[in-house]
Chain A
Amino acid sequence: MLIDVPKFRESSSLLRYVEPEHRGRNNRPKVGAYRRKEDEDHLSVNSDEVETENQIAATFAAKFHGGSRPVSISGPTVADYNAAAESVGMSVSFDAAKGCWVFGRGGDRSEAYKHRPKSGNRSHCGVEYIRTFDDLSDFKFAVRMARSATYRLV
């Protein structure tokens, strides 16, 4: 059952496009697939609560592959992202009052996962806390994410 605005349920997947050069052995994404790009202040992902994997693959194909399929997609769950964040020292918790995942401590808390719909890409979301990472934390986070899921060709 698809919805217009993702709730980021723990079992939901946040799909990440895997560049052909980041396809590792045994369907494992290389660490570079989850390193933040220069133009990202969030990690770009797509929620399977809003669009099907096939629809998301079509978006990736149009954006990165000149429309040709298949594209490679890795789809860790929100729980995987939370675990990786915790593992590198980032506190992510569910704020029942706001009804969303938040990161940070004390009063300085922000949305951990944000719906960022774009024209022709309505399931686009951001993993927001990566902008607070220094380079080593970003590397450690990328290692965990790359090792938490395989990629598949869709």
Chain B
Amino acid sequence: MLENATETTFSAPQAERENLLVRRAEREKLRAQSLYYFVSPTDLSGALLYGGGAPSENSSAIPAAIAECWHLVKESQLSEEAFTHLVAAAAGRSPQSVRGLLSLEPKSLAAFLHFWGSVRDGSAEPEIGISPKGHVQAEWTKDVEDFLVLEFRPNGEVLFSLWQDGYPTEGVKSPTHLHELCRMFEVMDQNPLSWTDAD
């Protein structure tokens, strides 16, 4: 009995260490292949190995979803204003919230940051919001009749609503068909991702 207890006590951390090493090896492989880099909530310290400067696991300043996507956030080059807004919006959503607003979904944030990373050059920074379900929404506005809204579901699907001269084109795109959306934007007179009504 005592022997079993002793085994349990020491084997769990050993397995954890092995898992950590496996996960690190997998991350290295993904990085080498330029695929996206995900830091699990239980392994934030691992991010420091790559000089990412990830927040500590117990940091109360950075909401969990943002901490989980720290490397993507860091690479996204979001403006200080957008980042501050995102942090404030996410931080305002505690699990105990009585306002019906769910916490920011890390997979939705990751989906947005991947998209943003792929279109950032030549684009205007969107207004970023979070839906009540915790999904990231990005809005580009030229004027009252011309604007684009994208909402990123955690499964990678994107809801889109593109308005040109007051007429909408709307729907859902799966992750594998997102390029079609970008192609549609590119062939327009003016790419809606460049729209902004910021001062």
Judge whether A64 is part of the interface by a CB distance below 8 angstroms: yes
Q: Flag A6-35 by CB within 8 Å of B: 1 or 0 each.
A: 000000000000011110111010111001
CB distance from A39 to the nearest CB of B (A): 4
Task: Collect the chain B residues with CB atoms within 8 Å of residue A35's CB.
Answer: 131-133
CB distance from A71 to the nearest CB of B (A): 13
Task: Collect the chain B residues with CB atoms within 8 Å of residue A105's CB.
Answer: none
**Could you say which of B100, B144, B197, B198 contacts A40, with CB atoms under 8 Å apart?**
B100
Interface size range on A against B? 20 to 34
Is A21 touching B99 in the complex (CB atoms < 8 A)?
A: no
- Give A32 to B127 CA distance when docked, in angstroms: 12
Which residues of chain B from 40 to 66 have a CB within 8 Å of any chain A CB? none
Is A139 touching B159 in the complex (CB atoms < 8 A)?
A: yes
Total residues of chain B contacting the partner, CB 8 A: 30
Instruction: Please judge, given known A-B contacts A25-B127, A31-B151, A32-B129, whether A64 and B99 are in contact too, CB under 8 Å.
Output: yes
**Could you say which of A20, A31, A37, A38 contacts B139, with CB atoms under 8 Å apart?**
A31
Is B137 touching A32 in the complex (CB atoms < 8 A)?
A: yes
CB distance from B185 to the nearest CB of A (A): 17
Instruction: Please judge, given known A-B contacts A35-B131, A147-B147, whether A136 and B101 are in contact too, CB under 8 Å.
Output: no
**Can you name 28 A-B residue pairings with CB atoms under 8 Å?**
A19-B92, A19-B101, A20-B92, A21-B85, A21-B88, A21-B89, A21-B130, A25-B141, A25-B197, A25-B198, A30-B137, A31-B129, A31-B137, A32-B131, A32-B137, A35-B131, A39-B100, A40-B100, A64-B99, A136-B159, A136-B172, A139-B151, A139-B159, A140-B168, A140-B170, A143-B161, A143-B170, A147-B163
The 8 A-B residue pairs whose C-beta atoms are closest, nearest first, are: A37-B100, A21-B89, A30-B129, A39-B100, A37-B132, A32-B129, A143-B161, A32-B131
